[in-house]
Chain A
Amino acid sequence: GQQLNQSPQSMFIQEGEDVSMNCTSSSIFNTWLWYKQDPGEGPVLLIALYKAGELTSNGRLTAQFGITRKDSFLNISASIPSDVGIYFCAGQVQTNSKLTFGKGITLSVRP
């Protein structure tokens, strides 16, 4: 089946640093999404991408839909302590198809 690969499983950065995460697949997806899960909460949508090459920002977050449609990237600039959480990528083959989730990256930010 379709799989999304996120690695490493955990990342540790210093407050103020930028961090990049990527999500790769051997399959093509036509929608890429990035979610954040705060400790003890459900995932919340950060950014949705619909077109190959698309670059979209949400505050200090920027995500890109890879040209090959097999990857996506999320960048967080000038990290702050509240950026701590698990970041999931997700993909959809078609608009009405089920979501496929990556395994998530746990981000820790040292003050």
Chain B
Amino acid sequence: NAGVTQTPKFQVLKTGQSMTLQCAQDMNHEYMSWYRQDPGMGLRLIHYSVGAGITDQGEVPNGYNVSRSTTEDFPLRLLSAAPSQTSVYFCASSRDSLSGNTIYFGEGSWLTVV
């Protein structure tokens, strides 16, 4: 079972470049979300979606855009990369809203902005 698939696994960007982190899930989950993980900071919610066509901001949305044109895909776009966006990014999906007991995380995308 694929579960939640994120690409790329590793990426180095120059300041000001844009890029998209891809996320796909094959579990027919309505709810998807993006988190970033920084040393000593835990997981912080960037954006989330409760279904196709619906997105909302999380705790740290600035500098990121998302869209949800299909149930399966939830890409995260960095509009103009900054060194402060160097982080590990996790996509997640869940069956029951954002409920923690049904949430599945991808393997992460390591992003470095130089």
Contacts and interface: CB of A to CB of B under 8 A. Distances in A.
Interface string B82-114: 000000001010001111110101111000000
Interface of A: 1, 4, 9, 31, 33, 40-45, 48, 88, 90, 92, 95-99, 101-104
B42 A103 contact: yes
Contacts of A95: 96-97, 99
B40 interface: yes
For the complex of A and B, the 9 pairs showing the least CB-CB separation, nearest first, are: A42-B105, A48-B101, A96-B97, A103-B42, A101-B42, A33-B100, A101-B43, A99-B100, A43-B105
B47 to A, nearest CB: 11
Contacts of B97: 95-96
Interface residues of B, number: 23
| Chain A contact residues, majority secondary structure | loop
A40 B98 contact: no
A33 B45 CA distance: 16
B40 A48 contact: no
Contacts of A90: 100
A92 B45 contact: no
A45 B40 contact: no
Contacts of B108: 40-42
A44 B100 contact: no
B51 interface: no
A65 to B, nearest CB: 13
23 contacts: A1-B59, A4-B42, A9-B40, A31-B99, A40-B107, A41-B107, A41-B108, A42-B90, A42-B92, A42-B105, A43-B43, A43-B90, A43-B105, A44-B105, A90-B100, A92-B100, A96-B99, A98-B48, A98-B58, A98-B98, A99-B100, A99-B103, A103-B42
A42 B106 contact: yes
Contacts of A101: 42-44
